[in-house]
Amino acid sequence: MPNPLRWGILGTGNIARKFAEALAKSETGSLVAVGSRKQETADKFADEFGAPRRHGSYEAFVAEGAVDAVYNSLPNHLHLEWTTKCAEAGKHVLCEKPLTVNHAEAMRMVDAAKASDVFLMEAFMYRCHPQTAKLVELIRDGAVGEVRVIQAHFGYSLAGSANPYGNIRLQNAVGGGAIMDVGCYTVSACRLVAGAALGQSCSAEPEGVSGAAHIGEIGRVDEWATAVLKFPNGILANVTCGALCAVGTVLRVWGSQGSLEVPNPWFPGRAAEVETILLNRDGKETEAVSVPSQQGLLYTLEADAVASHLAERQAPWPCMTWEDSLGNMKALDRWRESSGLAFDCE
Ligand SMILES: NC(=O)c1ccc[n+]([C@@H]2O[C@H](COP(=O)([O-])OP(=O)(O)OC[C@H]3O[C@@H](n4cnc5c(N)ncnc54)[C@H](OP(=O)(O)O)[C@@H]3O)[C@@H](O)[C@H]2O)c1
């Protein structure tokens, strides 16, 4: 590309580091600026990842003229404010998941992107990987017949870490909790599979969401949670997540003529050279459907998807479109509401 996209990273935490590493492998973009609450942190991050411009306040970062696209890696409660400010400054935004803390905020963010005529995408990186496109293809082609039940898990335990409640994932004030951190993936995947099963070229919206959660006393967020989603055509989905309960990572689909399992749905290509979807057509031996894993390029593919679709302002489904993000936030609201979880900032 003659003019690689000039990226700025807002925030210098865990995932910001991963994205900076990913940009170093991208041919469509490069890191030019970083913004942090402190100049010292900005300088350290910029030195490590070779960013020529560094800012010790988010306001100064937003005013930076050399940035075309921003990666917003701030905690959930800051997504709306800073994505909107970047959009209003004419910058395209890849915003971390979940897009905002609730559906009402998500509508405001999408409206801001539309009003400023900039690109916006929620950073569900697995949606930009070829394994997810293959999954959609298999479901659409009727590989398991008519889809009946979907199951998605994403959970880990922070219990062994030095200060679990110091982590944003276990803090109410920043819009934390397992549902927001990883339950959002499980809901997005079930909506994706249901949409493909219904022959749509977008994710499906559940007719009903009924959840339950264990809400911890210290962080006042869900530490583990589960929900049932009911989609049209009798499709049912069961989702489970945890931040203090390692329920693992898997996506399974059962249909009228077979079933499939995606053992590594959320981080394809992180370790293996080839990703595999396990397909069981009724009465036949398990078939391993292989997908090139693009090893180590998960977040690079996401950055490249932004660069490729800037002009349309959204990347095409199964990447996260605006409509998909709004539908996901609505389902998460319903999961939280039925589980009795609200945030101080709402
Ligand atoms: N897509 C993925 O694979 C993935 C993976 C992990 C996380 N995420 C998402 O990315 C976001 C950040 O997660 P993370 O794991 O990177 O978090 P983190 O390590 O805690 O980093 C968050 C950064 O945000 C800034 N910040 C501003 N206000 C803060 C506050 N009150 N508390 C803590 N940090 C604050 C800090 O940067 P400065 O000090 O530089 O201002 C901090 O380093 C979340 O929305 C999360 O859901 C996505």
Q: How far apart are CA 20 and CA 10, in angstroms?
A: 11
- Average pLDDT of 87-105? 98
Its pTM stands at 0.98
- The structure tokens listed for 161 are 């870490």
Assess whether pLDDT exceeds 90 at residue 3. no
> Are 241 and 178 in contact, with CB atoms under 8 Å apart?
yes
Ligand 1 mutation pick, 17, 74, 266, max ligand atoms within 8 A of CB: 74
Where are any strands of DSSP class E within 90-207?
A: 92-95, 120-122, 147-157
Token match 């994403």: residue? 154
Q: Please, what is the Cα angle at 239 between 230 and 283, to 5 degrees? A: 80
| 137 Cα: distance to centroid of ligand 1 (angstroms) | 34
Whether 151 is in a domain gets the answer yes
pLDDT in tens, 155-209: 999 999 999 999 999 999 999 999 999 999 999 999 999 999 999 999 999 999 9
Domain count, the chain: 2
Q: Is 172 left (phi over 0), alpha (psi -120 to 50) or beta?
A: alpha
Q: What is the pLDDT of residue 203?
A: 98
Q: Tell me: do 158 and 91 sit in the same domain.
A: no
Q: What is the pLDDT of residue 283?
A: 82
Q: What is the pLDDT of residue 273?
A: 86
Does 222 sit in the ligand 1 pocket, CB within 6 Å?
no
Q: Which residues is 242 bridged to in the sheet? A: 155, 224
- Average pLDDT of 14-43? 98
Q: Tell me: do 73 and 163 sit in the same domain.
A: no
Q: Tell me: do 234 and 100 sit in the same domain.
A: no
Whether 189 is in a domain gets the answer yes
| 189 Cα: distance to centroid of ligand 1 (angstroms) | 23
Q: Tell me: do 11 and 51 sit in the same domain.
A: yes
